[in-house]
Structure 1
Amino acid sequence: MSMITRARAYLVDLDVETERTDAVQSFLKQETIFVEIATDDGLVGTGYSYTIGTGGRAVLSMLRDHLLDRLIGMDPGRIEAAWMTLFTSTRATTTGAITSLALAAVDTALWDLRCLRHDAPLWQVAGGFRRDVPLYDTEGGWLHLSPDELVEGARRSVAEGWAGVKIKVGSPHVFDDVERLRAVRDAVGERVDIMVDANQSLTRGEAVRRAKAFESLDLAWFEEPMLADDVEGHRTLARSTSIPVAVGESMYAVSPFREYLERGAASIVQVDVARIGGITPWLKVAHLAEAFNVAVCPHFLMELHVSLAAAVPNGRYVEHIPQLRAITRSEMQIADGHALAPERSGLGIDWDRDAIDDRIVA
């Protein structure tokens, strides 16, 4: 049995690669929280999580002040035991963003160690369903872009062979959203999926209204139309429209996913490995969704989610938003409109250690 001998956490700031706006905020920077876990037989696992501009130092403090010391002496192969030990040790903060983001950085490092020990890639160790997953693009669909710019981005994605594009909605007037979506639909034709994302900006009544206005556009899904904790609102919406309802990026525990699925309030699950607390709970959500015959289309973190979406039978899409290119030596592979899970052992991310060291801020 190997043993954890050292655990280290640090914070890296990454500038966004392009301007990103939605109905409620702008993505200013990515605070990337790294954890490195070393074992007595010489292996080092690297994990990470993120924020989109605030809270990174709070996550780092949770790790340094409360969690990392508890790992010393543990068996790194007992990932469930390590996760539960750290989770229960946080007591009053067990369910929430700070704890989940901290746990995710640890958990992904432990999974990196597991894969390194078996000299196998994550997509195989986590399930190994297939290596390639269809790709859709979000980078060309931000809310500040004009209809002409949206069309240009969508055509570029289609030319790359990607199966879908996501357009942000939540404009002041419903007809502005419809105009933008109609321009993209006319440009890409009927065989390209168009997803829309309101980023929790709508009331129940407005969500139902906009879904009705979007019906003729044959959308692949309506993402986060309302606040993430409004399960009944999403259930009402799901019953009123033929457009699949997508939720999950703003959920920080397994139980909210169960409630959404049990109540028929979601048709697409967008579980985020950082926000749910790591690969361990991510897989639980994915298999829970499979039991309800619901697809998983994870949010963001494409460099990691490609392996997880490939691991499970209901992994439907990977979201294209590149954000790690400044600190990696190679990019996610794309072929024939599909993202390819890396074959290298571990998480499969080719970290540029010098570039990371240059960007450490805490």
Structure 2
Amino acid sequence: MARIERVEILKVPLAPKTARTDAIQSFVCQETIILRIHDADGAVGAGYSYTIGTGGSSILALLADHLAPRLIGAEAEAIESMWSDLKFHTHATTVGAITSLALAAIDTALWDLRARRAAMPLHLLAGGARKSIPLYTTEGGWLHLSEDALIEETLEARRQGFSGAKIKIGKPSIAEDMRRLEAVRDAVGPRFEIMTDCNQAFRVDEAIRRARQMEALDIAWIEEPLPADDIAGHVRLSALTSLPVAVGESIYSIRHFRDYMQQGACSVVQVDVARIGGITPWLKVAHAAEAFNLAVCPHFLMELHVALACAVPNGRWVEFIPQLDDITASGMTIENGHAIPSEEPGLGIDWDWDAIDARRDSYFDIRRPG
């Protein structure tokens, strides 16, 4: 065990490799917040968080001005204590995205440091439930794609070994969405999973209408059909459709997840390690979902979620959206449509620090005085 002596904070903008549009927005830039924690023994842990284009400077300010200085001199192994202390220190701004994203950068770095000091990969340190996890892809299902392009991309995903693909929905009419989904289902057949994602675009009445139309296509789930804070709406929808309802990427509190689970408002939990505030709360949500017999299919951050989804017994899918290729030396291992967690100590992300330093647009270095 050792005390924390130094914290580095960086921001690296990363443009997506392909156009990404959904029912409410376009993904134009990932502001990647990277945080490194140095302890008194010379060990270093690296964690990260992200935005999809806005808020990065606010996360940096929260980290540099308020959170990172409180880490200096703290025991690096006291992760639960630090997470609780930092959350209380920012209680006036929680629960919310900016605070959760900032906490996640710290918490993931602390877990990386712990795993490196223990010489263990994260998937074993956090539970070690399985050795691989199925992948589905989102990269070929964006809303702007034509019907022909959607079919071509989904068939290519199947050829590459993926077991499923996500199709964005939210066209102006049900007929347009159904035509695209029916074309994909006809092309890939009944054994290939089709996930749908609404990105919180609908009101309850419209979500019910669309879900009932899609039932005949044996859809794997309908994701974020309603605004994330409308638990009552999700309860009503879940009771009126046979489609599994998936939520989680826009939920920032373990208690918010609890309310969804207790009220039967979802059947797929998509907890995002950055938006929930780190690995510490992510594991709590995943184990709570296990108690409700619910699958965990995390949102985004595949390079980190592969280890976490393999750590818990109810991990079901990892979402394939590569976003760290430009700042990592090696990518995620994929075999027969399954993601394989790294056996290297730490989070399992092979950061390319030269590329990171070349691309960063912000940097803070916080040290023990003297």
TM-score relative to the length of structure 1: 0.99
**1:136 is matched with which residue?**
136
**Alpha-carbon offset, residue 91 of structure 1:** 2.5
Q: Secondary structure at the match of 2:293?
A: coil
Q: How does 1:66-85 map to 2 (within 5 A)?
A: 66-85=66-85
Classify the secondary structure of the residue corresponding to 2:110.
helix
**Letter matched to residue 331 of structure 1:** G
Which ranges of structure 2 fall in alignment gaps of 5 or more residues? Answer: 363-370
Residue in 1 that maps onto 2:64: 64
Between the aligned partners of 1:106 and 1:329, the Cα distance in structure 2 is 22
Query: 1:146-185 residue pairs with structure 2 within 5 A?
Result: 146-185=146-185
Per-residue CA deviation, residues 178-217 of structure 1 (Å, 9 max, x unaligned), is 0000011001100011000000000100000000111110
Q: Which residue of 2 aligns with 1:251?
A: 251
8 Å CA contact retained: 1:123, 1:308: yes
Matched, 1:236 2:236: yes
CA distance in 1, matches of 2:141, 2:330: 25
**Which residue identity is paired with 1:242?**
S
* Structure-1 residue corresponding to 2:335: 335
Aligned length: 362
Take 1:253 and 1:149, find their aligned partners in 2: how far apart are those partners? 37
Q: What CA distance in whole angstroms lies between the structure 2 residues aligned with 1:336 and 1:226? A: 34
* Structure 1 counterpart of 2:15: 15
Instruction: Specify the SS of the correspondent of 1:354.
Output: helix
Secondary structure of 2:343's aligned partner: coil
8 Å Cα contact 1:62-1:102 kept in structure 2? yes
List aligned pairs for 1:197-346, cutoff 5 A: 197-346=197-346
Task: Give the SS at the match of 2:274.
Answer: helix
Which blocks of at least 5 consecutive residues in structure 1 are unaligned? none
Taking the aligned partners of 1:279 and 1:91, their CA distance within structure 2 comes to 19
* C-alpha contact 1:131 1:307 (8 A) present in aligned 2: no
Instruction: Report the Cα distance in structure 2 between the residues aligned to 1:141 and 1:7, rounded to whole angstroms.
Output: 39
Partner residue, 1:28: 28
Q: CA-to-partner distance for each residue in 1:130-180, whole Å, 9 max, x for gaps?
A: 120000010000000011111111111111121111000000000000000
* In structure 2, C-alpha distance between the alignment counterparts of 1:9 and 1:94, rounded to whole Å: 21
The more displaced of 3-12 and 224-233 is: 3-12
Shift in Å at residue 359 of structure 1?
Answer: 1.1
SS state of the match for residue 307, structure 1?
A: helix
Percentage identity across paired residues of the two chains: 60
* Matched residue type, 1:340: I
Measured in 2, the distance between the counterparts of 1:281 and 1:108 equals: 11
RMSD: 0.6
